[in-house]
Amino acid sequence: MDGSFGDRAAAYVDRVERCLDRALPPADLAPTRLHEAMRYAVLNGGKRVRPMLVYAAGECVGASPGQLDPAATAIELIHAFSLVHDDLPAMDDDDLRRGLPTVHRRFDEATAILAADALQPLAFGVIAGASELSAPQKVALAGLIAEACGSLGMTGGQAIDVGATGSLLGAAELEAMHAMKTGALIHASVMSACCVADALSDEETNGMDAFGRHIGLAFQIRDDLLDVEGATDVIGKRAGADAALGKPTWPALFGVEQSRARCAELLDAARASLGIFGDRAESLLWLARLIVERSA
Amino acid sequence: MDGSFGDRAAAYVDRVERCLDRALPPADLAPTRLHEAMRYAVLNGGKRVRPMLVYAAGECVGASPGQLDPAATAIELIHAFSLVHDDLPAMDDDDLRRGLPTVHRRFDEATAILAADALQPLAFGVIAGASELSAPQKVALAGLIAEACGSLGMTGGQAIDVGATGSLLGAAELEAMHAMKTGALIHASVMSACCVADALSDEETNGMDAFGRHIGLAFQIRDDLLDVEGATDVIGKRAGADAALGKPTWPALFGVEQSRARCAELLDAARASLGIFGDRAESLLWLARLIVERSA
């Protein structure tokens, strides 16, 4: 492996954006307004953290980028779907996402609901249609992603978050909510590489699993911190939105300093859990630091 | 095969309802409100037309009920998801579904959006986790269902329908919209049996494919007719709702008599396309008649 992951990260982002562009129906194909909205929701300059995690985890377990493209693409489609629905008036009621009008603002509410609804099956269709993967690999990936985005994962976490607005959760409940809302899909990103890798030892699988959990939680705490610390023009969405909504967050419960300390702890734990992979874990660790130290 | 499909239909409905009950997370598992809403959306006395089509198509191609359960369950979950979103204020804004308050009326809008969002991955999870099927069968089913419910199928049809409210589509556009909105999932119900059957001839597959398309369109025309003819207490949702919304429908474009004639034509064509299956098609033909002649 040549160079640092920092050098390869941009190439991986380009790679998944080409995959996303190919997976999405063209904007001039009917129903055009729906397809425009789907493309707008996905091809909007997202950071592509989850695809980068897929590719970096692939370096760790010896899976090729071609084998990882379907998972990277599908997971980013699922992530985009969740953002569109989270932004709706009945949920977080956000006007801005990545510095641009949210999908229901740019189009309309019905189109936003349906565009996101169509991104989900597109994700599973990408997996089912992947020519690089065997049928058992596809089944493993589809099962992993279905679980991660369902009622015991991402969507369930969002339901707890929406239901908890205005009330203070306890630490255990908050951590469980974070683990579901953001952690589940981050974890699935990492584990997706295991689905397409050649036989891994239990120790390797368990190490990857622990890394995914630690870094998923760290990602959400960092997100909460950014909402407190960040300026709207840097994070691309309304800063202070969580506090304004009375949302349960890590800094609200523990304060900013303790939240930062928890992030640092989780980064250490994430690093330790990849010990078995030696140098092959370099890229994942680079990404883990990026997640914990990012300013947007 | 003993007895008429009419006798077996109730048993098939029981069968899929047990599968649905098992697939859905228990209502007392957190997040409980989300899980209650998911169960409310699915276990509400629906007619289960799509699962019956799956099982009847299975009789036709020689697939066992156990092999068909995953498809029947997944397709009904997808159907339930679509109804919840179609009923939302930003879409058809319906208060009643199957004689009961719609999910957003019984719970709230955010919960309705999220409950439906969680039904989709549950459907794909049921397929991925089906112990009765081989990996290639699962992949074929997941691909079929993903295509049927995406932007070129059910969700795309709903987008055209919502966008066309208040305007009159031409006959070709209306038929295309119907084929997507309702036809795609009806068609997938029939074709799902082919995914799990032993090698079929091209003639058999094509016959099933044609049957699925004819009966899918007939189903939607019958639905439009019921909205004109039906009483609210019989069809379980607000009668005349389509006309009140200025929605494009078959009777609005062609009148009631021509719409009935088109249904009868489609039934004939559906019957003809199953000729290759001989007596094995008895159940599917029984269902086709039920679809065209139903009063709710």
| Percentage, residues of chain B above pLDDT 70 | 91
Helices and strands of chain A, counted as H and E runs:
16, 2
Per-residue pLDDT, B240: 63
pLDDT at residue number B195: 97
Using the structure block, give the residue that is written with the tokens 């086709």: B288
A108·B90 Cβ contact <8 A: yes
Q: State the average pLDDT over residues B243-255.
A: 78
CA torsion, points A217, A218, A224, A226, in degrees to nearest 10?
-160
Q: What's the pLDDT at B1? A: 45
Helix (H) or strand (E) holding A250: helix A250-254
Going residue by residue through chain A, which has 296 residues, state the pLDDT in tens, using 9 for 90 and above: 445 677 789 999 999 999 999 999 999 999 999 999 999 999 988 899 999 999 999 999 999 999 999 999 999 999 999 999 999 999 999 999 988 999 999 999 999 999 999 999 999 999 999 999 999 999 999 999 999 999 999 999 999 988 876 566 788 888 888 899 999 999 999 999 999 998 899 999 999 999 999 999 999 999 889 888 765 555 555 556 666 666 778 888 888 999 999 999 999 999 999 999 999 999 999 999 998 888 77
CB proximity under 8 Å: B 122-151 to A: 122, 124-125, 127-129, 134-136, 138-140, 142-143, 145-147, 149-151
Can you give the pLDDT at residue A174? 86
What digits encode the pLDDT tens for the residues B28-46?
999 999 999 999 999 988 8
* Phi, psi dihedral angles at B29 (to 5 degrees): -90, 135
pLDDT in tens, B267-294: 999 999 999 999 999 999 999 999 888 8
Full-model pTM: 0.94
For B193, the token pair is 């049996």
Q: How many CA atoms lie within 13 A of B108 on its CB side?
A: 10
- Tell me what pLDDT residue A1 has: 45
Check residue B237 and give its pLDDT: 56
Which residue, among A42, A83, A151, would best test binding to B if mutated, counting the most B CBs under 10 Å from its CB? A151
Which residues of chain A neighbour B84 with C-beta distances below 8 Å?
none
Q: Verify whether the Cβ–Cβ distance B160 to A120 is below 8 Å.
A: no
- Could you give the CA distance from residue B128 to residue B145 in angstroms, rounded to a whole number? 12
Cβ-Cβ contacts under 8 Å between A and B: the total is 166
ipTM over 0.85 threshold: yes
Using the beta-carbon criterion (under 8 Å), do B118 and A150 form an inter-chain contact? yes
Taking alpha carbons only, the member of A75, A73, A70 closest to residue A134 is A70
Measured CA to CA in angstroms, residue B117 lies from A70, A158, B69 at distances of: 21, 11, 22
More confident residue, B245 or A204: A204
pLDDT class of B253 with cuts at 50, 70, 90: confident
pLDDT score of B162: 87
In this structure, how many other beta carbons lie within 10 angstroms of the beta carbon of residue A244? 10
Q: Give the pLDDT of residue B124.
A: 98
pLDDT tops 70 at residue B186:
yes
Cβ–Cβ below 8 Å for B142 and A160 = no
Q: Give all domains of chain A, ordered by start, each with its CATH number.
A: 5-293 (1.10.600.10)
Please judge whether B124 and A146 are an interchain contact, meaning their C-beta atoms are less than 8 angstroms apart: yes
Give CA–CA dist B158/B180, Å, rounded.
8
Judged by a CB distance cut-off of 8 A, whether residue A158 touches chain B is yes
The size of chain A, in residues, is 296
Chain A contact set for B74 (CB, 8 A) = none
pLDDT digits over B80-114, tens only? 999 999 999 999 999 999 889 999 999 999 999 99
pLDDT in tens, B109-123: 999 999 999 999 999
Give chain B as a DSSP string.
--S-HHHHHHHHHHHHHHHHHHHSPPTTSSSHHHHHHHHHHHSS----HHHHHHHHHHHHHT--HHHHHHHHHHHHHHHHHHHHHHTSTTTT--SEETTEE-HHHHS-HHHHHHHHHHHHHHHHHHHHT-TTS-HHHHHHHHHHHHHHHSTTTHHHHHHHHHHHTTSPPPHHHHHHHHIIIIIHHHHHHHHHHHHHSS---HHHHHHHHHHHHHHHHHHHHHHHHHHHH--HHHHSS-TTHHHHTT---HHHHH-HHHHHHHHHHHHHHHHHHTGGGGGGGHHHHHHHHHHHH---
B contacts of A38 (beta carbons < 8 Å): 151
Contacts of A26 in chain B (CB under 8 A): none
The conformation of residue A233, written as its DSSP 8-state character, comes to: H
CA distance B286 to chain A (A): 31
A46 vs chain B: nearest CA distance in angstroms?
22
With bands split at pLDDT 50, 70 and 90, how would you rate the model's confidence at B236? Answer: low
A159 closest CB neighbour out of B33, B124, B127:
B33
> Is B156 within 8 Å of A34 when comparing Cβ atoms?
yes
pLDDT on residue A243: 64
Question: At residue B79, does pLDDT exceed 80?
Answer: yes
For tokens 């979103």, name the residue: B85
Q: What is the pLDDT of residue B235?
A: 52
Residue B211's pLDDT is what? Answer: 98
Q: Cβ–Cβ of A33/B146 closer than 8 Å?
A: no
Distance between CA atoms of A222 and A228, rounded to whole angstroms? Answer: 10
